[in-house]
Structure 1
């Protein structure tokens, strides 16, 4: 009987493979690799999650009187510019089903069908997750939706027989659903790679029960005749992993949020160690090795920089992932507010550098071999055709044909004459541009290129805080900037012709490779060359005249400036100011208020784009606290910032000013102050933690008592805090903890300093219940572990990482982050704790 059963299984498996290879349906080979049925080539795919057909995004479209179809059209065009070829969504089953699992043919389903059709037109394939289990409210309250998920909830959906029956019914109907825009059922859709049964199920019970649950769902799906691979989430409830391996699925799905979620502020510091390795604890399991692997969601949440995504993609490829979709792309029509998922922020218009980083990550997925290992941090910051740099906030791809970069780069492509595609932000050896929007250059034929320039986007608030549609986080400005394009294929004097509708820049001329350009699309044609292309010409998956960008939203001038908190007496200050305006101001200056009531004026010099700078001499730093404001002159009117009032307006003695503290070089350098910095401290949540007043001159201390006797770490990036005292740091000898232990027992605390290169040097102090200063000599600091904070999802990823090469030496010039670890005790009845007032260099 066993032999017969095995033979029957072989025939079924062989039959599935034969069917897949007769069509172009994907199949999973014996080594757990997805391949295209027609060509047997390995499947690659990279893209985003995107939710306009459902839930909050759908409601906002209706609220703002935006056509969902138009929004989908616009965003999918941007997907094509970013090189995405994959789309994933967890379908809000609660909006398109009833309590029995019957599929409801309503507007949500129609919009999903429409989106899939539009994806197909751009060559984008998809993975669908039919069951989300979520209510449709986030970030608002759930509505009274008709589906089974609302009736039963996620937990009951995994165990209740009636809920299970409803899901099986729903899956059968969902796979049989015929998309009216294509005339093809989902089960037969050639661009649908695979199904993931449900989104993040969290099972309890026995492994056999998990297997039975999954197999019941798969049986319902296979009854439709669908031969596509079926995946299941195996990064949750991993103690039941054998139940997944025993089930009738062809692959497992994974997520990665290496910087946690919901910090409510932008996370700073070098986070490359956090994404160095996607270590799967059951990777060696023989059954798991035969399963295909995809990433359904990932993001470096609350990170606003552009260097990190290609490093994540590299780690995914090393772990064996073939598909990945970022979570989640913000629909452009309300990306100004980032309200859908405020811990994430991704949109080509509003986050151009991050979007370009995602474009490079897509290239990683399509070019880095499966399971290729590039070593450990920091050696793997350059890998293949790719490089990531925290210090430059840069990710780049450099090949013979492509040059893609997220920020200013000094890299010189090996042969500019062979390039066929350039996309970037900022300046490079090929393009110099002062605007902040992304740009794309594509070679259409010899001597003919298409240029696309997006408008400037400027963040005027931290986008990862508490957001609302009434709060503007980012503004758009259509401003003309000089652009220099240095391509041998175009020569020095090329012709420029606008392509997109409404583009009135018809008199553009290049002078020595340079032209004043406004947002839009253009053809650049070498002098003397005639082109067969026109505005309506099709090229790859776009039409040449396509252009999507919101109109200017900048309504007032912003002065974006964070004062240096502390500066050294007797030393000048290099001050940076960002002035965001519709056009360049007529004048700008800093006015320092002296103690005698007079003021000194210092002209702000324009560097490039919206950036200005000025050197404030030491002689102007009068007193312990220096107060100053910025004056902007526009249309003959002077305004004073930070208030934004006219300079001649009477504001009284409480007029708003910027401030800096002036300290003697010998004064301690404060790395962390509980009263002012506790909200920026990265640490696992503790309900018992609190900020308490010490009663001493308004000082406070942060009380932290871990709930379990285990290593509890915290991290704070002090780079900006000490920027005005970097020179003083080099003269300090000790690292000092100011505070005391709690619960009347001593506590072991490790203090460590993390460098911008990810190196970590620290030492352990014994903190007593008596309040005091506990110090360690900087010369005694030794290499210690980098603690992965915030804690990542999934939780099985490593906590402590060794990131410092043995050859490294401690360098005070390098430090930027403080790491504090409360070390575990042997006691189990109660845990030690600490009260932190501050940490200083003395």
Structure 2
């Protein structure tokens, strides 16, 4: 090639870039906020809607882990962004770790972190995603480790000083000006002109003191530095913190407010159980009627049902957000796949398509909610609103689903039938439905490419072997991946009974096969399903919508041993069969699995474990073989001719006694009391606001009691889900007549406590009782229980959300067979001082049904 030709090519390319940049600068499709407080696209005037995730690979801990594990951050971003596309996300938000990309004066540092952010944004653009960027985080970069010595102004001043110190404020204004002017080298476009960047949120969770005028002046200074760049995009500010200064936000030159929602609190350190749909019934904003606020746009920068491992809740949250007027929402936070096995970044959250497939599908449905439910649409109160529009959520089934004319998405086994399966163009799910039956645990996706031609994507199995919401580390494996072949059937009229199945993704060496009566065996991968006799031009490299048909991203198998996952029933009734359910997680199906009961006479009995589906096995021990007392049993799994006994086979037994080498269940008479709370055994899973005065102690008689003294003279409540605790006694519930609390008041006066029982449907029935300052058994007849309020526990963030709500229909009656949760509420009482209240504490030993 001659120099002249090379020069011509370069000049042509530079002309293209100039035209490209000028187009963005001169004809932006910038979002604007109309007089009603609704964001609209500049060209089409349509309402802006978006839903997606926070994701942190370019910064802080996630970046350090990539380096520690020798993971290429760019490749990690490519992989996760592909999964975003499969989940229908079209929005990304991140609070940028300014402390890593700025100096103390607020000068922007062009370093690896900023480059990776640019790369991530570019990759998301190619998948059709939009952005909301929060340039200032105020955080150090350590969590969950210690902060490093970063160069930025946030490290020098800290959050509190950043809001008041003149030099810190000047540094922030300088930083914002440079950040908005920063040109992404992958696109050649400055952030201020990026057409896919919807809006800026100035900073992450500022917590102001001072006066409203101070707040307004601070915000206006930041906005002025941003507007000085020529940027016309909406600017938002967090108004869900320091709400006593809300007028300062309303008086500022901002276009909207940002909100968060953690309806189940944070950092329970264990999975939270029970029906939590009442917790997400309503996102009630205390200043919703403020005239200025009504003219402001509203977005959700972070939300999650933290410490919840189930899949039913996210669409209900999305519904409540839309009712409250939210146009954008981003979940916090998507776990990068390369260390999602350990869930160490934010252990109170857990979200990843591979490792939490059902939860991820729930988030996919929530995205559909945001795009389909009209703004401010009200579907009523719980429980009437569990079905809304094209959506349904069910706590009892752990199910969220969407059914439209052309889409069918579900998170768990469902009996719902689409009105016309022949009209479907997309199916995604987990478990069994009228369209797909599949025994694996991974998510699957079916997309219609043309008549008689579909793309099938099947992800590998992920199995949780530990509670993922506990105390985690990179050395602790919480979930394992297994690439196992499972039966599948696809009932789509468009494919008819027989179709050909051809691998698409690179490295998929499974041979092409044909279905028989819609059924076949499938391994993880991407496949082309073609109706018998049909011809197609689609192939692995074909571009389709925002993906290539041969794309497939999944981590390698990590299952290296067999796991037996089983929690024994603590107590079961004599004279009734005992059902034993087990997960046997293995590379291949075991040759045999049995329960062996260790008899008192030295003899043992064996009962076959029968595989029901996937990794799930069950057996029933006849009542005649169960005497009263404690039974000990092991689970024996035979693989390759070798028998292993569990739990011993997956424990470090060097320092463990005999009792830890077997499972145990107590067999008790049907007439015996049913314990629904025991302080010694259950206090760690009690949901309650933190109290530094709370303690567990052992009395002289050897019985443990939990002491709780609320630190403020206001209502205090706690809750415990006993569903699993009484699973072996459920048939005896109908014979119980009284609810009895064993305990005492901690002060010299009686303490009034409401004792309530919550049913699986969220209805609450309770009664108040005076607990005296002496040990006693405080009894309530179950017939005396009346309609009571559901207390929102754990307490949510933001704190302005309601403390309690009515979830029980007026005509509802108490049904003891449906109870699953205990709720105790301390009630303030008037003191001798006028207009003052006090609240006493109690010590609880146990609560039983007699």
What is the TM-score of this pair, normalised by structure 1? 0.96
* 1:602 corresponding residue in structure 2: 607
Q: In the alignment, is residue 105 of structure 1 matched against residue 110 of structure 2? A: yes
**Corresponding residue of 1:833:** 841
Q: 1:424 maps to which residue?
A: 429
Whether 2:718 is the aligned partner of 1:710: answer no
Matched, 1:580 2:588: no
Q: Does 1:448 align with 2:448?
A: no
CA contact (8 A) 1:733 1:778 kept: yes
Alignment of 1:747-758 (within 5 A): 747-758=751-762
On the 8 A contact 2:459/2:525 being kept in 1, the answer is yes
Q: How many angstroms does 1:561 deviate by?
A: 0.3
Asked if the contact 2:738–2:782 (Cα under 8 Å) also holds between the matched residues in 1, the reply is yes
Q: Deviations over 1:797-824 (max 9, x none)?
A: 0001000011111001110000001111
CA contact (8 A) 1:740 1:770 kept: yes
| CA distance 1:689–1:835, change in 2 (3 Å) | same
Match of 2:247 in 1: 242
Question: Is 1:380–2:388 an aligned residue pair?
Answer: no
How far did residue 623 of structure 1 move?
3.9
Task: State whether structure 2 residue 812 is matched by structure 1 residue 808.
Answer: yes
Q: Could you tell me whether the CA contact under 8 Å between 2:500 and 2:512 is conserved in 1?
A: no
Q: Which residue of 2 aligns with 1:820?
A: 824
Partners of 2:265 and 2:796 within 8 A in 1: yes
- State the partner residue of 2:743: 739
Distance 2:180 2:658 in 1: 70
Residue 63 of structure 1 corresponds to 68
1:797 aligns with 2:784: no
Cα deviation digits, residues 758-794 of structure 1 (max 9, x gap): 0000000100011010011000000010000000000
Structure 1: distance between partners of 2:551 and 2:230: 40
The equivalent of 2:3 in structure 1 is none
Which residue is equivalent to 2:620?
A: 615
Does the alignment pair 1:120 with 2:128?
no
2 CA distance for matches of 1:678 and 1:772? 20
Q: Aligned pair count?
A: 822
Provide the rounded CA distance (Å) in 2 between the counterparts of 1:167 and 1:809.
59
Q: Distance in 2 between matches of 1:709 and 1:41?
A: 50
Residue 710 of structure 1 and its aligned partner are, at CA, apart by 1.3
- For residue 507 of structure 1, report the CA deviation from its aligned partner: 3.5
Q: Which moved more, 1:662-671 or 1:103-112?
A: 662-671
SS in 2 for 1:644: helix
* 1:288 maps to 2:288: no
The 2-side partners of 1:636 and 1:655 are apart by 25
Shift of 1:662: 1.1
Distance 2:686 2:26 in 1: 54
Match of 1:54 among 43, 52, 59: 59
- Do residues 318 (structure 1) and 323 (structure 2) align? yes
- Give the superposition deviation at 1:829: 8.3
Match of 1:220, SS state, is helix
Deviations 1:525-572 (A, max 9, x none): 001110111110000000000000001100100000000000011111
Higher alpha-carbon deviation: 543-552 or 705-714? 705-714
1: CA distance, partners of 2:129 / 2:375: 21
Aligned counterparts of 1:737 and 1:710: Cα–Cα separation in 2: 22
Alignment partner, residue 256 of structure 1: 261
* Residues 295-444 of structure 1: pairs in structure 2 closer than 5 A: 295-444=300-449
CA distance in 1, matches of 2:650, 2:487: 31
Aligned in 2, Cα 1:749/1:399: closer, same or farther, shift over 3 Å? same
1:60-114: per-residue Cα shift (whole Å, max 9, x none)? 0000000000000000000000000000000000000000000000000000000
Structure 2 residue aligned with 1:493: 498
Does residue 514 of structure 1 match 2:519? yes
Q: CA distance change for structure 1 residues 152 and 839 in 2, over 3 Å: closer, same or farther?
A: same
Match of 2:9?
none
Aligned to 2:168: 163
* CA deviation profile, 1:192-225 (whole Å, cap 9, x unmatched): 0000000000001100110000000000000000
Moved more, 702-711 or 211-220: 702-711
Task: Quote the offset at 1:593 in angstroms.
Answer: 1.0
The answer to whether the 8 A contact 1:570-1:618 is kept is: yes
Q: 1:336 to 1:759 in 2, by over 3 A?
A: same
**Equivalent of residue 783 in structure 1, options 767, 784, 787:** 787
Shift of 1:743: 1.8
Tell me if structure 1 keeps the 8 A contact 2:105–2:171.
yes
| Structure 1 pair 754–829 and aligned structure 2 pair: CA distance change class (3 A) | closer
Is 2:198 the counterpart of 1:193? yes
SS of structure 2 residue aligned to 1:521: strand
Structure 1 445/645 Cα, relative in aligned 2: closer, same or farther at 3 Å?
closer
Q: Offset at 1:23?
A: 2.9
Note if contact 1:22-1:38 (Cα within 8 Å) is conserved in structure 2: no
Aligned counterpart, 1:11: none
Provide the rounded CA distance (Å) in 2 between the counterparts of 1:650 and 1:304.
32
- Contact 1:592 1:629 (8 Å CA) reproduced: yes
| SS across alignment from 1:496 | strand
Q: Using the TM superposition, give the Cα deviation of residue 291 of structure 1 relative to its aligned residue in structure 2, in angstroms.
A: 0.3
Aligned position for 2:150: 145
Aligned-partner Cα distance in 2 for 1:363–1:653:
53
Partner residue, 2:96: 91
Counterpart of 2:12 in structure 1 is none
Aligned-partner Cα distance in 2 for 1:777–1:43: 55
Gaps of 5+ in 2: 1-23
Paired residue for 1:772? 776
Following TM superposition, by how much is the alpha carbon of 1:685 offset from its aligned partner in structure 2, in angstroms?
Answer: 0.2
Please give the alpha-carbon distance, in whole angstroms, between the structure 2 residues aligned to 1:340 and 1:431: 35
Q: Is the 8 A contact 1:22 1:37 kept in 2?
A: no
Residue of structure 2 in register with 1:571 after alignment: 576
Structure 1 gap ranges (5+): 1-18
1:359-414 CA-partner distances (Å, limit 9, x unpaired): 00000000000000000000000000000000000000000000000000000000
Deviation per CA, 1:243-291, whole angstroms, max 9, x where unpaired? 0000000000000000000000000000000000000000000000000
CA distance in 2, matches of 1:125, 1:756: 39
Please, what is the CA RMSD of the aligned residues? 1.5
Residue pair 1:20, 1:26 contacting (<8 A) in 2 also: no
Q: After the TM superposition, which of the residue ranges 170-179 and 742-751 deviates more from structure 2?
A: 742-751
- The answer (yes or no) to whether the contact 1:750–1:823 under 8 Å persists in 2 is yes
Partner-residue secondary structure (3-state), 1:469: coil
Match of 1:545 in 2: 550
CA 1:20 to 1:177, structure 2 compared with 1: closer, same or farther past 3 Å? closer
Q: Secondary structure in 2 aligned to 1:564? A: coil
Deviation of 1:645 after TM superposition, in Å, equals 7.1
8 Å Cα contact 1:455-1:477 kept in structure 2: yes
Q: Report deviation, 1:695.
A: 2.4
Task: Report if the CA contact (8 A) 2:830-2:837 is conserved.
Answer: no
Inter-partner Cα distance in structure 2 for 1:829 and 1:252: 36
Aligned residues of 1:735 and 1:775 also touching (Cα < 8 A):
yes
